[in-house]
Amino acid sequence: MKKIVVTLFVLLFSGSFLFAQCPYKYGANEADSLKCLEQLTNFNIFHKAKNYTEAYPSWQYLVQNSPCCWDGLYTNAQNMFQAMISAEKDSARRERLIDTLLYSYEVRNQAFPEKFTQGYCLGFKAYNLLQYRKDLLKKDLNKVEEILNMFIESVEMEKENTQPAIWDKYFQLAETMTKAKKDTSYVIEAYGRATDYLDVSINNAMVQYERQVAVLDSLTELYTSNKIDTDYLVHLCKKPAADTARQMKLVLNYRKTLAKIEKAVAPYASCEVLEELYAAKLESIKNDISAVNKIVVTMAKGGCLTSPVFKDALYIQHNAKPSRTSAYWMGMLSLNSYAINNDKSEIDAAILYLQDAVRMSETNEQKADANYMLATAYQTKLAFSEARNAAYAALKADPNMGKAYILIGDLYKASGSRCSDGIPYDYNWAAADKYSKAAAVDPSCASVANARRASLHFPTKEELFRRGMSAGSSYHVGCWIQENTTVR
């Protein structure tokens, strides 16, 4: 163990020497290269066997002598150190292991800066400080704030590439500071960053997911048209299938992280608190569109659409750099304004903004959401055909969006004044179909859909008898609806 401690000391204070050897991946000469490859083999064997005590000397040698030989040296370091630190009983040796783990994040950034970026390494350095130096942090609030600032710096460097684990620890620490200093700005600023960057993280992961799904769909089409056989299909699908699973896992992790943060911030982020905090700083940051965007997203998700601060921030954001998000919220703001003031020009404005949001949407999820809100705007304007078209566009992007079927059902139900000819209430047969479809594809809205369906009026038996019709027969609803349905 004494040998390990000495080597640790050399390792920690030889950073400038390490990278003089980086032009040589394995070593400056044949002997060095053979030694490096031997140590790489040893490390891999012992690491895979989870024999970290035996793997560690090889890791030390490689980091000290061939730091650029293999990025897996650093990818596998975290779990090795976690196991060794957990098992170490000697407090001094444990502290040296922690120091070496922290130092390894500096080494990996220098050795492989493209894979292990500065922001990534700073974030995980803070993560490990928080994990392994808890006792020290309890005694010094200034140290806690130093680590919090490390997280902030990491997040601002990584932005949407920030890992879920970093978001989790960062927000926990922000909450700790809020409680210790009775200052909600720590939590709210962390939440602002999370809502801003995590939405982009989710979107980027969904874009990659949908691209891989499209690849899989195209391969399936080749198979169904007998252009490739089963074995070749399995071979071709292997990578995109793995990529699809990985991207969806990333989406779910990011969503889980954001949901956790949103739940934790709720006690601190009322609209009144957000308005007071952001009103004081909006003027000073109005030229920093990234900061303004954080205000917009945070207040929008908090339901603060009537706040003057939200409106001012949104106008600044949209006028400076229109985006799918800003267009969407401009549309929502116009819809909200119409609901309050009954100004019909706000509906036309909402439609234009939401059309822009549809046009700028990248993922199916975004397209479905924007089209649904566009359908709602058309519905408010009583533009029934346009509302249905937008609802079907939402369903094209998300076939399981039950609320879009409910909206179409509502359009049909509201058609009595427009479709008064023919059999009374025949349009409700078409509405019933949509409500049933909504309940079938989306269990989350089944109760609403079933209640709407139960509230429908249908022609009486006498009215059906006079027209020679019976329940269960086919029927075509005319007027603007033009749907085939079933007599009820």
**pLDDT tens digits for range 284-343:** 999 998 889 889 988 998 889 899 999 999 999 999 989 999 999 999 999 999 998 899
| Total count of residues recorded for the chain | 488
Distance CA 274, CA 297 (A): 12
**125: in domain:** no
Residue 66 lies in a domain: yes
Strand pairing report for 483-486 and 474-477: antiparallel
Number of domains in the chain: 1
Tell which wins on pLDDT, 135 or 231: 231
| Residue 343 in domain | no
Q: Is residue 12 part of a domain?
A: yes
362 is written with which tokens?
Answer: 């990248």
pLDDT attached to residue 138: 76
Average pLDDT over all residues of the chain:
90
- At 22 the pLDDT is 66
Query: Which tens digit of pLDDT belongs to each residue from 256-275?
Result: 999 999 899 988 889 998 89
Q: Which of 74-88, 146-160, 263-277 has the lowest mean pLDDT?
A: 263-277
Instruction: Report whether pLDDT(19) > 60.
Output: no
What is the C-alpha separation between 169 and 200, in angstroms, rounded? Answer: 20
Q: Model-level pTM greater than 0.85? A: no
How open is the CA angle 153-158-164, to the nearest 5 degrees? 100
CA distances from 332 to 251, 293, 325, 329, 479 (A): 25, 16, 11, 5, 31
Residue 259 placed within a domain: no
Q: How far separated are the first and last CA of the chain, in Å rounded?
A: 84
CA distance 199 to 261: 13
- pLDDT the model gives residue 23: 66
Q: What are the tokens at 178?
A: 């809020």
Domain membership flag for residue 39? yes
Please give the pLDDT value at position 206: 93
Question: Does residue 236 belong to any structural domain of this protein?
Answer: no
**3 state SS of 485:** strand
- Whether residue 47 lies inside any domain: the answer is yes
pLDDT band at 471 (very low <50, low <70, confident <90, very high): confident
For 8-31, what is the mean pLDDT? Answer: 58
Percent of the chain clearing pLDDT 90 (strictly above): 74
* Residue 314 and residue 356 in contact, taking contact as beta carbons nearer than 8 Å: no
427 with 456: CB under 8 angstroms?
no
What domain range is 40 assigned to?
Answer: 2-116
List pLDDT tens digits, range 177-209. Answer: 999 999 999 999 999 899 889 989 999 999 999
Q: Kindly tell me if the per-residue pLDDT of 17 is higher than 90.
A: no
* Count of C-beta atoms within a 10 Å radius of residue 266: 11
Sign for the pseudo-dihedral over CA of 222, 226, 227, 231: positive
The pLDDT, as a whole number, for residue 11 is 43
Q: What is the pLDDT of residues 220-242, one digit of tens each?
A: 999 999 999 999 999 999 999 99
